């Protein structure tokens, strides 16, 4: 009788596809990449994917609390530390794009004339031209602080403000304030209300922006959906690479696959 009841309960219960949770940086979400990519993955595997998109620092902290199956961010040193400390398994290169300096088209600090990134930041600081920092411990914010340090500048004063917000909100504040800011190219291209703002500096090798992907360590977090997380990572490093390359906004490719 018990076997019959069990069989009937299995028939009555709906089949549940596997589900994974990604702790992610915001640019992959804001650019529309996930809206394009994840339905393809789900259609091919039956695995549903939920995304929490926050700054890289917060995404890493969330994952360190076990609130994820996969981590996808862009701060390689922090990602390698995440693995070394036992929170994640192996880190893989996934894709890259670049950072760009955004500012008013009139470019009052004449950033466009700078020969390199450090000179561009020095021009902004010397002119005390308004600059809006994300100020949120994101990968972009961490990169920005590193760029100021390399340029020998400790930004401070009325001209330097922290938005404490995501990239889209920071861009909006910069545009409204006729200010400069650092953005990943994908979020900038996808941003809808550019008005009289434009890319005023790009192309320095230092602006390279690498994204990495990591499965959480099931030995540390027994509850993680390790099997489906590994399936997702294998797909992103394999078949997903062509889909990443194919994703465009306004005719521009936003991410460039470079899986190991």
Q: What is the pLDDT of residues 115-162, one digit of tens each?
A: 999 999 999 999 999 999 999 999 999 999 999 999 999 999 999 999
Q: Which of 7, 39, 56, 72 has the alpha carbon at shortest distance from 216?
A: 72
Q: Which of 200, 136, 209, 121 has the alpha carbon at shortest distance from 170?
A: 136
Crossing angle of helices 33-45/226-237, nearest 10°?
Answer: 120
Q: What per-residue confidence (pLDDT) applies to 260? A: 78
Tokens linked to 51: 């995304």
pLDDT in tens, 163-221: 999 899 999 999 999 999 999 999 999 998 899 999 999 999 999 999 999 999 999 99
Residue 63: pLDDT above 60? Answer: yes
Q: Do domains 2-96+210-257 and 98-207 have the same CATH topology?
A: yes
Residue 99: pLDDT above 60? Answer: yes
Residue 15: pLDDT above 90? Answer: no
Q: What per-residue confidence (pLDDT) applies to 17? A: 58
Most distant CA atoms of the chain, gap in Å: 83
CATH 3.40.190.10 fits 98-207, yes or no: yes
Mean pLDDT value of segment 67-76: 97
CA distance 162 to 181: 10
What percentage of the chain reaches a pLDDT higher than 90?
91
Question: Domain limits of the chain?
Answer: 2-96+210-257, 98-207
CATH topology of domain 2-96+210-257: D-Maltodextrin-Binding Protein; domain 2 (3.40.190)
CB-based contact 48:42 (threshold 8 Å): yes
CA distance 96 to 257: 6
pTM: 0.88
H/E element holding 242? helix 240-246
């Amino acid at each position: 009788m018990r076997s019959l009841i069990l069989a009937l309960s299995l028939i009555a219960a709906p089949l549940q596809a596997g589900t994974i949770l990604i702790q992610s940086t915001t640019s992959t979400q804001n650019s529309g990449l996930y809206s394009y990519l994840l339905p393809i993955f789900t259609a091919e595997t039956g695995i549903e994917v939920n995304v929490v998109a926050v700054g890289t620092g917060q995404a890493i902290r969330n994952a360190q609390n076990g609130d994820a199956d996969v981590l996808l961010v862009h701060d390689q040193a922090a990602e390698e530390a995440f693995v070394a400390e036992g929170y994640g398994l192996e880190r893989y290169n996934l894709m890259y794009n670049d950072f760009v300096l955004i500012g008013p088209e009139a470019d009052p600090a004449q950033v466009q004339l700078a020969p390199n990134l450090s000179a561009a930041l020095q021009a902004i600081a010397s002119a005390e031209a308004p600059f809006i920092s994300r100020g949120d411990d994101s990968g972009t914010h961490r990169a920005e602080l590193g760029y100021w340090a390399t340029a020998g500048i400790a930004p401070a004063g009325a001209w330097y403000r922290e938005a404490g917000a995501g990239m889209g909100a920071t861009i909006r504040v910069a545009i409204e304030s006729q200010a400069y800011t650092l953005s990943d190219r994908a979020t900038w291209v996808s941003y809808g209300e550019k008005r009289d703002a434009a890319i005023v500096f790009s192309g320095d090798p230092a602006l390279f922006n690498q994204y990495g992907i990591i499965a959480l360590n099931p030995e540390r977090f027994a509850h993680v959906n390790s099997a489906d997380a590994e399936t997702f990572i294998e797909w992103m490093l394999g078949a997903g690479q062509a889909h990443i390359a194919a994703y465009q906004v306004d005719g521009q490719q936003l991410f460039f696959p470079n899986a190991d």
